[in-house]
Amino acid sequence: MPKKQYGCTLATPPSLTLNAEKPTVTAQEMIMKEFTQNDLINFLPRFETFVGIDSDGCVFDTMEIKQKDFFHPHIIRHWELEAIEPQVRSAAEFTYLYSTFRGLNRFLGLCKTLELLRDWPEACEHAEIPDPTDLRRFCDSGQPLSNTTIAEESERTGSKLLAQAYDWSIALNDDIDRNMPAPPCFKGAEKALQRIQKNSDVIVISQTQAVTLLKDWYRDNLAQYVSVIAGPELGSKVDHFSMAAVNRYPANAILMIGDAPGDLAAAQSIGCNFFPINPGHEVDSWQRFLDEAYDQFLSGGFSDEYQHQLNHEFKALLPHTPPWEQTD
């Protein structure tokens, strides 16, 4: 099977000289280029440090509107769950926004939402909720969780649910592309990107699908600050790090910036630094990054004490148990 590919880059590749400053270009000077996994595998360092940065909810203020106005209504309509709309919205909002599951790949999030609903008696009493077993098997398969792979797996297995999930994802992409307002960049994020690209190699490490990911980064010309824009079509976030950074930089010279537990887990899996963009406190987080965190990273990485403090504050914002299951 050929490599999955998509993406964009600058019309004129930046110099590969160590510590060379990347030139600023206008949107008109930028052209689209298809990224493949080889762009990660063959990544050439320009600096001594590497930063991987998430997109939705981290750089762009997209999470609330994208989930509540697009993801969740499509789940309700696609599986005819109008009779339990309040429960679906509660389960989906908990999964995608307000819990330790925040930031999951869309298919993992859909699977978790269905699992929560099937364990919720009030929901099961009033609607037929799909059995997510086939979707869980696909999500746990280890392959990239993309439209292409779920379509292939649906055809291979004949799974009705996987076919439905593929149709849901395609319709969701189309609705977002046509109707979602342009998401603003969080205050402080572009300033941080400008500073990072002068001192570190930086790529986007995301599980937002390419059709949306590229549109967001090119709309306001933020793509000029990064070398690669990688989404689920090129693998998981750990895959992205493993291909582009591991074995090229020491662990203390690698930094993940993200807003979800999956970003923290990716950083911990390769032993690198993690800086959280705390949900609900995004502007303050970016200011903190500019005021103290990036300097500490460039000075040899976060101390154990500082990393523990960041992780503790971040985890306190995202519970694991949904509110309808909590007991006093």
d(CA 276, CA 266): 12
Segment 105-122 shows an average pLDDT of 97
Structure confidence at residue 18 as a pLDDT band (50, 70, 90): very low
User: Looking at the whole model, is its pTM more than 0.85?
Assistant: no
CA distance from start to end of the chain: 53
Residues 33 and 74 in one domain: no
In this predicted structure, the answer to whether residue 281 has a pLDDT above a threshold of 80 is yes
d(CA 274, CA 325): 30
Instruction: Provide the pLDDT for residue 15.
Output: 31
Structure confidence at residue 20 as a pLDDT band (50, 70, 90): very low
d(CA 79, CA 249): 46
The β-bridge relationship of strands 30-31 and 9-10 is: antiparallel
Helix 160-179 vs helix 147-157: crossing angle, to nearest 10: 160
Residues 195 and 126 in one domain: no
- Boundary-marking domain end, from 148, 179, 210: 179
Q: Which amino acid is at 15?
A: S
- Boundary-marking domain end, from 155, 179, 203: 179
What would the two tokens of residue 305 be?
A: 């004490």
- Boundary-marking domain end, from 179, 198, 232: 179
Share of the chain above pLDDT 70, in %: 89
Over residues 286-307, the pLDDT tens digits come to 999 999 999 999 999 999 999 9
Residues 288 and 300 in one domain: yes
Structure confidence at residue 206 as a pLDDT band (50, 70, 90): very high
Residues 28 and 167 in one domain: no
Residues with Cβ < 8 Å from 186, sequence gap 6 or more?
A: 58, 59, 60, 61, 277, 282, 283, 286
Residues 190 and 48 in one domain: yes
d(CA 59, CA 68): 19
In this predicted structure, the answer to whether residue 195 has a pLDDT above a threshold of 70 is yes
CA 5 to chain centre: 17
**3-class DSSP assignment, residue 77:** helix
Residue 324 domain flag: no
In this predicted structure, the answer to whether residue 11 has a pLDDT above a threshold of 70 is no
In this predicted structure, the answer to whether residue 185 has a pLDDT above a threshold of 70 is yes
What would the two tokens of residue 41 be?
A: 């595998």
Residues 126 and 221 in one domain: no
Overall domain count for the chain: 2
d(CA 110, CA 124): 17
Residues 233 and 261 in one domain: yes
Query: Minimum mean pLDDT among 13-22, 43-52, 171-180, 191-200: which range?
Result: 13-22
Structure confidence at residue 326 as a pLDDT band (50, 70, 90): confident
Over residues 132-183, the pLDDT tens digits come to 999 999 999 999 999 999 999 999 999 999 999 999 999 999 999 999 998 8
What would the two tokens of residue 273 be?
A: 């630094």
Identify whether the C-beta of residue 51 lies closer than 8 Å to the C-beta of residue 204.
Answer: no
| Lookup result for tokens 């292409």 | 148
Residue 106 domain flag: yes
Instruction: Measure the CA angle with vertex 242, ends 266 and 289; round to 5°.
Output: 50
Residues 18 and 162 in one domain: no
What would the two tokens of residue 311 be?
A: 């992780």
Instruction: Measure the CA angle with vertex 276, ends 274 and 279; round to 5°.
Output: 160
Residues 10 and 150 in one domain: no
Residues 39 and 156 in one domain: no
Q: Specify the CATH number for the domain of residue 245.
A: 3.40.50.1000
Q: Which amino acid is at 153?
A: E
Over residues 267-280, the pLDDT tens digits come to 999 999 999 999 99
* Domain interval for residue 228: 5-61+185-315
